[in-house]
């Protein structure tokens, strides 16, 4: 029998390509669209109708809106360390903001930073943990990061195929599944003062000012700037979505939209209150997967991202060392949280150790540095007109009783809030005996968690540096 080698080769290649395509169908693409410095409260799909964000809102059509996604820390670098490692920063020594500068390469501090006496170190504990992106790459994924790289430790080169302001899925091999991150600096805290003179897309006089701030022109203008920044981000997100659609990738792609921590304002970013830790999260599913509900109220934490991405990427095994739980995919955890934990340690030049635990209704906060106000005078934030305004009003006694609490010295060692009745956490119930049982439960759970993860907050930063770098 005469064999047609050309035909046989063609059939072989066709079958191989089919097998490869079939395998890649089981490995959906994943795109992360990451807003910087934004709380839930500024988005229409959480009830704020001050502005429309059509491109982001369209992600909800075949997606889920998550009501209770929380950052591990209310500031960026520690939060990113939790995301990339699946570990609590206070358990691996990455909780102090600006321990590293831009991650990766040993750089000299700027003159300004040098004067702040900020320790410069990288945790060996964190370095020894395999980033989930490295695991994705080992399983055939192309991983690109555009472009934030501050994780508070030196991230191994194997974590990304590409990490730059030009990084994109477009540089991968043909038909290779991809995981691509895009960070949107337009909504960063600094844009509140850098874009202060830009045209506004909303009328400041039509905005509702939260009880955290005085209802005046400075508060309203700052809020209007933020909404304008969000509108610009929505346009940028629309461009990425269009590119995915034009390239025929949209239907087989999970798209996550979230923020790295709470909003850009005082008592948001760097605050362990819900305004600083509770973030938006939308997950748009591939077209072949229909979510069973449109809104989800499970208690979720940033440490859950790493196991979740591995779970949806073909059910890749999740490292046992990861502390998070997969909330989607083949390895989705059925053991849902009943308690959620957050922490803070140092913000630039100011340290303030705080730990918190909450359930679905109540939140307990433990302050370890009662001699310091919650309103830390961070040089970077003091460039903001609203922060300058609040400082002046506080000095002159023109803040109301609730607004003044943020500046209080000494602050309360313990705080307890009913999040249903008091979403902005202004009415401390710690001395109300009606809540004794709630308080006892939450305190027990916080102590238990700190012991289980070996919380390193009890160490001074000098001791911490020695501990995590030796």
Which letter, b or e, does each residue of 270-308 get, where b requires 16 or more Cβ atoms within 10 Å of its Cβ? bbbbbbbbbbbbbbbbbeeeebeeeebebbbbbbbbbbb
**Residues 146/167, Cβ–Cβ less than 8 Å:** yes
Distance between CA 93 and CA 126 in Å, rounded?
7
Same domain, 328 and 355: no
* Arithmetic mean of pLDDT, 424-440: 98
Q: Say what percent of the chain tops pLDDT 70.
A: 91
Q: Using the 3D structure, point to which of 321, 338, 355 is the last residue of a domain.
A: 338
What does 237-275 look like in DSSP terms, one character per residue? HHHHHHHHHHTT-GGGEEEEEEESSS-SSTTTTT--SHH
Q: Using the 3D structure, point to which of 338, 371, 405 is the last residue of a domain.
A: 338
> What integer pLDDT is reported at residue 147 of this predicted model?
84
Q: Is residue 248 part of a domain?
A: yes
**Residues 200/19, Cβ–Cβ less than 8 Å:** no
Quote the mean pLDDT of the chain. Answer: 92
Same domain, 323 and 442: no
The yes-or-no verdict on residue 245 having pLDDT over 90 is yes
pLDDT confidence band for 26 (50 / 70 / 90):
confident
The yes-or-no verdict on residue 2 having pLDDT over 80 is no
> What integer pLDDT is reported at residue 341 of this predicted model?
98
CB count within 10 Å of CB 357 equals 23
3-class DSSP assignment, residue 216:
coil
3-class DSSP assignment, residue 148:
coil
Omega before 207 within 30 of 0, i.e. cis:
no
Distance between CA 375 and CA 427 in Å, rounded?
17
Q: Is residue 11 part of a domain?
A: no
Half-sphere exposure of 172 (CA within 13 A, CB side): 20
The reply to whether 20 belongs to the active site is no
Same domain, 453 and 332: no
Same domain, 282 and 358: no
Which letter, b or e, does each residue of 23-52 get, where b requires 16 or more Cβ atoms within 10 Å of its Cβ? ebeebbbbbbbbbbbbbbbbbbbeebebbe
Distance between CA 19 and CA 23 in Å, rounded?
6
Same domain, 308 and 360: no
The yes-or-no verdict on residue 187 having pLDDT over 80 is yes
In whole angstroms, what separates CA 121 from the centre of its chain?
A: 22
68-108 confidence digits (pLDDT tens): 999 999 999 999 999 999 999 999 999 999 887 554 454 45
Note the pTM of the prediction, 2 decimals.
0.93
User: Is the Cα dihedral 391, 396, 399, 400 positive or negative?
Assistant: positive
Give the residue numbers spanning the domain of 241: 28-338
Q: Using the 3D structure, point to which of 298, 320, 338 is the last residue of a domain.
A: 338
Q: Is residue 178 part of a domain?
A: yes
401-414 confidence digits (pLDDT tens): 999 999 999 999 99
* Arithmetic mean of pLDDT, 146-172: 94
Supply the CATH number for residue 168's domain: 3.40.720.10
Distance between CA 350 and CA 118 in Å, rounded?
9
Supply the CATH number for residue 372's domain: 3.30.1120.10
* Arithmetic mean of pLDDT, 171-177: 95
Q: Which of 397, 435, 387 is nearest to 415 (CA)?
A: 435
Q: Active-site residue among 76, 192, 212, 310?
A: 76
Q: How many domains does the chain have?
A: 2
259-278 confidence digits (pLDDT tens): 999 999 999 999 999 999 99
**Residues 126/94, Cβ–Cβ less than 8 Å:** yes
3-class DSSP assignment, residue 155:
coil
Same domain, 326 and 362: no
Same domain, 380 and 320: no
Same domain, 264 and 354: no
């Amino acid at each position: 029998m005469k064999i047609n080698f050309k035909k046989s080769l063609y059939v072989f290649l066709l079958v191989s390509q089919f097998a490869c395509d079939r395998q890649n169908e089981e490995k959906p693409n994943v795109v992360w669209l990451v807003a910087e410095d934004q709380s839930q409260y500024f988005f229409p799909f959480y009830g704020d109708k001050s502005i429309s964000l059509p491109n982001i809102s369209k992600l909800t059509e075949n997606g889920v809106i998550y009501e209770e996604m929380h950052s591990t820390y209310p500031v960026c670098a520690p939060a990113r360390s939790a995301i990339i490692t699946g570990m609590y920063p206070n358990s691996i020594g990455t909780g102090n903001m600006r321990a590293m500068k831009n991650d990766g390469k040993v750089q000299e501090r700027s003159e300004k930073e040098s004067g702040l006496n900020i320790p410069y170190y990288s945790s060996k504990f964190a370095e020894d943990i395999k980033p989930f992106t490295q695991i994705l790459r080992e399983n055939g994924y192309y991983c690109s990061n555009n472009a934030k790289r501050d994780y508070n430790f030196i991230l191994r080169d194997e974590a990304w195929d590409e990490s730059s302001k030009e990084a994109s899925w477009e540089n991968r091999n043909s038909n290779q599944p991809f995981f691509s991150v895009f960070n949107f600096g337009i909504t960063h805290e600094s844009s509140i003062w850098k874009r202060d003179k830009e045209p506004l897309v909303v009328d400041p006089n039509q905005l509702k000012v939260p009880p955290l701030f005085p209802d005046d022109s400075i508060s309203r203008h700052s809020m209007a700037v933020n909404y304008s920044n969000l509108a610009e981000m929505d346009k940028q997100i629309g461009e990425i979505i269009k590119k995915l659609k034009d390239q025929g990738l949209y239907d087989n792609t999970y798209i996550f939209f979230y923020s790295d921590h709470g909003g850009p304002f005082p008592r948001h970013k760097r605050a362990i209150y819900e305004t600083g830790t509770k973030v938006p999260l939308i997950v748009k599913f591939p077209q072949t997967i229909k979510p069973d509900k449109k809104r989800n109220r499970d208690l979720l934490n940033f440490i859950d991202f790493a196991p979740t991405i591995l779970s949806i990427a073909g059910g890749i095994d999740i490292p046992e060392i990861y502390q998070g739980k997969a909330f989607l995919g083949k390895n989705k955890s059925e053991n849902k949280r009943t308690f959620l934990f957050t922490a803070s340690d140092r913000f630039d030049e100011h340290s303030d150790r705080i730990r918190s635990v909450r359930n679905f209704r109540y939140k307990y906060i433990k302050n370890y540095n009662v001699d310091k106000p919650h309103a830390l005078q961070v040089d970077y934030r003091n460039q903001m007109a609203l922060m300058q305004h609040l400082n002046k009003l506080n000095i002159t006694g023109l803040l109301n009783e609730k607004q003044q609490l943020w500046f209080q010295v000494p602050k309360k060692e313990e705080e307890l809030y009913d999040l249903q009745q008091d979403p902005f956490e202004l009415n401390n119930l710690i001395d109300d005996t009606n809540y004794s049982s709630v308080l006892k439960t939450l305190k027990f759970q916080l102590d238990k968690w700190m012991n289980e993860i070996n919380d390193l907050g009890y160490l001074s930063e000098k001791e911490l540096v020695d501990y995590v770098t030796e």
